[in-house]
Amino acid sequence: MDYREEADTLGTVKVPAQALWGPQTERSRHNFTTGPLMPLPVIRALLQIKRAAAVANRDLGELSDTKAQLIIAAATDLLALDDARLRPDFPLHVYQTGSGTQTNMNVNEVIAHQALTHDPTGELQPNDDVNHGQSSNDTFPTAMTITAHQGVAQVVAAVRHLVAELTVKQTEYWRIVKIGRTHLQDATPLTFGQEVSGWVSTLQHDLTYLESLTDTLLELPIGGTAVGTGLNAAPGFAQAVAAELSEAYHQPFTAETNKFFGLAAHSGLNVVHGALKTLASDLLKIANDIRFLASGPRAGYHELTIPANEPGSSIMPGKVNPTQAEALTMAATRVMGNDVTITVAASQGNFEMNVYKPVLIATFLESTDLLAGTVTGFDDKLVHGMTVDAARMRELVDQSLMTVTALSPHIGYHASAEIAQLADQQGLTLKEAAVQSGQVTADQFAAWVDPLKMTGIDDLK
């Protein structure tokens, strides 16, 4: 491999000749070699920040038009690359300095070298020009905030689509009666549409929680520089950068936030991830309900039939497993675990800065990626093709003893319990036991024990 030599404040470094990065990135990629690479959404956000900062510094008279245009052009070039072409020049890992300084400098160095493709005689200095008026301490958390906001938007879109699909099922099966279950035991009837409406409402509430908190991710700490005072940033710089970023992302970002808070605390990510954790726990419940209701086909509930997307077993021919539900439930458990990581990391602000920033944003983005992806797969490959076995549902309703609850208003709780016990002990249907008890006639039983009527479906709007 061919190398070039570049110098930094610690001395001369050999850098791969074709690499766009410089000496600090080269040192860092050898010093920090463990764990996943810095997520590309963070890199793209930093590129947008550098472009916005160049515009702001130019307009404020802090940077020459020539240098600003080179930064803008280089950042634009890099942002136009797809992930596969962008990744090679951003080789650093999540587990590095807690401020994200290595990644910030990686971006600064790559922009400076990319600018040479526009003007080989131009000299952009990564620290003085690309990073002008900035610190890693404010640019990296600004990138964190932007990417977290984007990640949440992807989750919201996926969940909205799932809600729409479940609403179709709710309508389609609104009057299909099934047995309810509480404590994992038989309970009174409801319709499958009613059961699904509970799932729909749960997810709608989760969306409300999430969206009500997301505005905290519009507050950017840019302009705080090293400790929050704004040292070396021109007056108006933060507001100008926020305006540029708002235009780039079509979001109302603001720099009107306390910078000391923005650098030392990451409460916004913490509280929003709490809503993601709540969503994950509810998705876990819904996915489990569906896979249990689809259990069988001969020795389980088998009230639902789910699509056969792939062979379910390497040894048992013909087996169909609820794989999409399993993927979603695993993702949900990961998100719940990630919430612990984020809570602990967000608590580690010491004095003027939190130094757990890379693990905070990498963990947050893992959660949003997992939720958006597995919810979409669950929706498209399971829920969409899921159907009801109405005959099986009727069979289980007929077998259940808990429809006896409809007799209580007429003959009392204790007499009704005796009928249920008689049916259970002698293997009778509930109707047979009721008539045999002498407390209910066949006509009365037919009038009083109407499973569909018991659901209250006709009283619901």
270: annotated binding-site residue?
no
Is a pLDDT exceeding 80 seen at residue 20?
yes
Retrieve residue 220's tokens: 């950017």
**What local confidence, expressed as pLDDT, does residue 312 receive?**
86
135: annotated binding-site residue?
yes
Is residue 81 a part of any domain in this protein? yes
Q: How many domains does the chain have?
A: 3
Q: Are residues 443 and 361 in the same domain?
A: no
pLDDT mean over 31-55: 99
| Domain boundaries, position 443 | 401-459
373: annotated binding-site residue?
no
Which percentage of the chain shows pLDDT scores above 90? 96
pLDDT mean over 282-293: 99
313, 400, 408, 410: which one is catalytic?
313
Long-range contacts formed by 238-246: CB under 8 A, 24+ apart: 240/52, 240/55, 240/56, 240/59, 240/60, 241/49, 241/52, 241/53, 241/56, 244/51, 244/52, 244/55, 244/56, 245/48, 245/49, 245/52, 245/146, 245/220
Size of the chain, expressed as the number of residues it contains: 461
CATH number at residue 170: 1.20.200.10
169: annotated binding-site residue?
no
Is residue 339 a part of any domain in this protein? yes
Q: Are residues 124 and 163 in the same domain?
A: no
Is a pLDDT exceeding 90 seen at residue 433?
yes
Confidence of residue 461 (pLDDT cuts 50, 70, 90): low
Domain boundary among 97, 132, 167: 132
Where are any strands of DSSP class E within 337-401? 349-350, 353-354, 387-388
183 is catalytic: yes
Q: How many CB atoms lie within 10 A of CB 238?
A: 26
Residues 124-170 have pLDDT tens digits of 999 999 999 999 999 999 999 999 999 999 999 999 999 999 999 99
**Residues 358, 359, 363, CA angle at the centre, nearest 5°?**
120
Residues 311-348 have pLDDT tens digits of 888 889 889 999 999 999 999 999 999 999 999 999 99
Q: Are residues 46 and 179 in the same domain?
A: no
Is residue 251 a part of any domain in this protein? no
Q: Are residues 199 and 122 in the same domain?
A: no
Is a pLDDT exceeding 90 seen at residue 122?
no
113 is catalytic: no
Confidence of residue 173 (pLDDT cuts 50, 70, 90): very high
400: annotated binding-site residue?
no
Q: How many CB atoms lie within 10 A of CB 239?
A: 15
Tell me the average pLDDT of the chain.
97
Residues 251-280 have pLDDT tens digits of 999 999 999 999 999 999 999 999 999 999
- Dmax (CA) for the chain in angstroms is 104
183, 250, 367, 384: which one is catalytic?
183
Is a pLDDT exceeding 80 seen at residue 460?
no
Is residue 340 a part of any domain in this protein? yes
Residues 93-110 have pLDDT tens digits of 999 999 999 999 999 999
397: annotated binding-site residue?
no
